[in-house]
Structure 1
Amino acid sequence: MDEIYMNVKPVPSKNQTVPRSSERRSHGVVVLCLGLLSVLLLAGLISLGVHYHVSAQRSAAELSSIKANLMERLQASDNKSSSLTAERDWLNASLVKMTEELNRLRGRPTCPTGWRMFKCVCYLLSNETGSWEKGKEDCGVRGAGLVVISSTAEQMFLSNFTREETHAWIGLTDKDKEGTWKWIDGGPLTDPLKYWREPQPDNGGGYKTLGEEDCAHIIIGKSDLHNWNDLSCNTLLRWICMKRL
């Protein structure tokens, strides 16, 4: 009996687990699927990155194009503005000429080109400078004389003749007698038509280097009523001519 039992091979139990080929194949399929999924995921990431890179380049190009377009429009606007300014100035000049011509045709007196009118009197501020005598001569050549101020309104008009501050001879002098100021037409200087700056006139204020200050000038561009000063007649200043219509 013992020999019989020893030669009999044991039969595996139904509950004992044994590896099967089907399970191995299933494991391989899972690994393969995971690998394919990883490849697809990587490909998707690469494609997404390329898409964003191309989009960024396209956006940069579009922004550059928009910027260039705006710059062109801005330049065109500046050019148009300059053109309009030039056209405005031309129209203003044309309007002045047309007004002068219309007044001439209507028989109304007008000032020569470059002169300004105030109450039927024409005034000219010279572009050049020179002594008081040179200003007097230049005005005479123009059929005029150095300005003689006869009212407060005229004084204010001349004080604001230009926006720039400048000094200009007027037709007032005390050459004949120190301290006795007379207009170039022979009329005396009387109150209240005296518009000296304080403490003028001072004839140099005692400074011999300034010489005799026998000619008067006006300071234009300060909107100041009292703006006369006396200076040496040889000082180089601009001058104001006037002539009545």
Structure 2
Amino acid sequence: MEIDDDVYINKNLTMEGDFQRKKQPSRCVNVCLGLLCAILLAGNIAQIIYCNKNHLQISYNSLWKEKEQLKTSCNTLQKEKENLQTNCKIVCQTGWFKFDISCYFVSTLKKNWTLSRQDCITRGADLVSIDGMDEQEFVHGLLRTGQNAWIGLTDSLKEGTWMWVDGEPVTTSYWQPGQPNSYNGNQDCGEMVEKSGMGEWNDDGCFAEQIWICEK
């Protein structure tokens, strides 16, 4: 059977169009692919933003810690500066000995602990309070060989609880071995005992008479 040329050509064109449509993705597929790419791209951007945000937060926290450390260092340096300025301005009057930011007076008379303290107060001072090894060595160096001297140490308010006259608790002590022992239950005042090294403390009856050391 003979096929009309026009019919044959049209049929071939139709088949070729169908073939081309089958080879190319549909519009729906293109749209879906576009959306998928957009989602993936948005996810990557979000991840990048999240990572950058975390990095910035870590950097901020680190800078904040550095700021606080610098602030603390600055405060410490400021206090040291003030102490140095104060120390430089301190001039002890005649008969007083200077150490750090304090002046010390050693009596030549002998009195009981209460009267000794009263004498210090009339001089604008109080019996010495010792808060470290350097001061302990200095105060001990003010004594002559074999001397004992009253210091601002007492447990008269509560037996066994030793306090300085300014109300501060004793945090560092230099008691003789076995002291304080409150011998006969009547030793409520502290004294510096001259001894080789940096001296030691002993408890004694507040009624005993000996020299004393003032601090202001």
* Same-fold call, TM cutoff 0.5: yes
Query: Do the aligned residues in 2 keep the contact of 1:160 with 1:223 (CA within 8 Å)?
Result: no
d(CA) in 1 for partners of 2:122, 2:165: 15
d(CA) in 2 for partners of 1:147, 1:229: 15
d(CA) in 2 for partners of 1:129, 1:139: 13
Q: Using the aligned pairs only, state the percent identity.
A: 43
Query: Do the aligned residues in 2 keep the contact of 1:146 with 1:184 (CA within 8 Å)?
Result: yes
Q: Residue deviations 1:96-127, cap 9 Å, x none? A: xxxxxxxxxxx832111111001121001101
d(CA) in 2 for partners of 1:125, 1:241: 7
Moved runs in structure 1, 4+ residues, more than 2 A?
Answer: 162-165, 222-226
CA RMSD of aligned residues (A): 1.5
Mapped pair 1:194 → 2:173: yes
Change (3 A) 1:232 1:163: closer
Mapped pair 1:217 → 2:186: no
d(CA) in 2 for partners of 1:152, 1:109: 22
Structure 2 residue ranges without an equivalent (≥5): 1-87
Partner of 1:67: none
Partner of 1:151: 132
Partner of 1:33: none
Equivalent position to 1:228, from 183, 201, 213: 201
d(CA) in 2 for partners of 1:110, 1:147: 18
The letter of the residue matching 1:237 is Q
For residue 89 of structure 2, give the secondary structure of its aligned residue in structure 1: coil
For residue 217 of structure 1, give the secondary structure of its aligned residue in structure 2: strand
Change (3 A) 1:224 1:235: same
Query: Do the aligned residues in 1 keep the contact of 2:113 with 2:150 (CA within 8 Å)?
Result: yes
Partner of 1:134: 115
Q: Residue deviations 1:10-59, cap 9 Å, x none? A: xxxxxxxxxxxxxxxxxxxxxxxxxxxxxxxxxxxxxxxxxxxxxxxxxx
For residue 138 of structure 2, give the secondary structure of its aligned residue in structure 1: helix
TM-score by length of 2: 0.57
TM-score by length of 1: 0.50
Query: Do the aligned residues in 2 keep the contact of 1:146 with 1:171 (CA within 8 Å)?
Result: yes
Q: Which moved more, 1:211-220 or 1:128-137?
A: 211-220
Query: Do the aligned residues in 2 keep the contact of 1:159 with 1:223 (CA within 8 Å)?
Result: no
Change (3 A) 1:161 1:223: farther
d(CA) in 1 for partners of 2:143, 2:152: 19
Partner of 1:183: 164
Larger Rg: 1
d(CA) in 2 for partners of 1:223, 1:116: 21
How far is 1:232 from its partner?
Answer: 0.5
